[in-house]
Structure 1
Amino acid sequence: MKVLGLQGVLLAGLVLLARPALAADAEWELGKRLFNKGSVPACAICHTLRDAGSEGTVGPILDEIKPDAERVGKALRNGLGAMPSFAKSLTEAEIKALARYVSQASGGAAPTQ
């Protein structure tokens, strides 16, 4: 059995700490992609969100209402007003990524998980 020196232990610790950040970055990118063009219809067509570079005029300006992830997820699953439900066209993981992206990009509360 090989014993790690201090540098090896520190490197191993950094790798373990980086894994959640890498997963969060991947989820952020997935959410952003889905917002801009990965969902049908794309969220960016109707909604304004500065981080996404979108200037939709149908739905609310997300930078102003700053929805939390739970609110976004509920709207995606059930639809809201003129917004259709995406429950049949997006997976639960995609809905979670999109909800997290919108909430964090708009300045809304992030989920605690």
Structure 2
Amino acid sequence: MRHYAVLPKRRLAAATLFAVAVPCSAGDSTPEARMALGKEVFTRLAQPPCSVCHALQEAGSSAEIGPNLDQLKPDAQRVAAAVRKGIGIMPAFGTSLTEEQIQAVAHYVARASGAEK
């Protein structure tokens, strides 16, 4: 009997760990969650990360390969199109990122750069 009493606690611990490790679930569309996922895509999830090439002060990036996004101030639609299809030397991420991740990083860049409020 003791074995069965411990099992639910382990499941709860695993579920709690998973909830903390995932910054935004597919159904979480609050502005804060979209910003958090967008920043995660910008700084870590995209391969290579956007921050390797683009300067964006809010992300702590001062890269100089691609346009400085703080100066360019692209709107979300422009960012999403560039991320999805690529532009210039920037590779396309349309097949390596989900649509949710593309929309989140577009939202993040537009807000963080001051293009949108």
Same fold (TM over 0.5): yes
User: Could you say which residue in structure 2 is the equivalent of 1:44?
Assistant: 51
User: Could you say which residue in structure 1 is the equivalent of 2:110?
Assistant: 103
Tell me the distance in 2 between the aligned counterparts of 1:103 and 1:63: 9
Residue 24 of structure 1: CA displacement? 1.1
Tell me the distance in 2 between the aligned counterparts of 1:50 and 1:109: 15
Choose which of 59, 62, 73 in structure 2 pairs with 1:55. Answer: 62
Moved over 2 A (4+): none
User: Could you say which residue in structure 2 is the equivalent of 1:9?
Assistant: none
User: Could you say which residue in structure 1 is the equivalent of 2:78?
Assistant: 71
Tell me the distance in 2 between the aligned counterparts of 1:98 and 1:60: 16
Tell me the distance in 2 between the aligned counterparts of 1:64 and 1:55: 12
Residue 109 of structure 1: CA displacement? 2.7
User: Could you say which residue in structure 2 is the equivalent of 1:13?
Assistant: none
When normalised by structure 2's length, the TM-score is 0.74
Mapped pair 1:84 → 2:88: no
Tell me the distance in 1 between the aligned counterparts of 2:45 and 2:80: 16
Letter of the aligned partner of 1:91 in structure 2? Answer: T
Letter of the aligned partner of 1:53 in structure 2? Answer: G
Residue 63 of structure 1: CA displacement? 0.2
When normalised by structure 1's length, the TM-score is 0.76
The answer for unaligned runs of 5 or more in structure 1 is 1-21
Letter of the aligned partner of 2:99 in structure 1? Answer: E
Percentage of matched positions with identical amino acids: 47
Tell me the distance in 2 between the aligned counterparts of 1:72 and 1:79: 10
User: Could you say which residue in structure 1 is the equivalent of 2:20?
Assistant: none
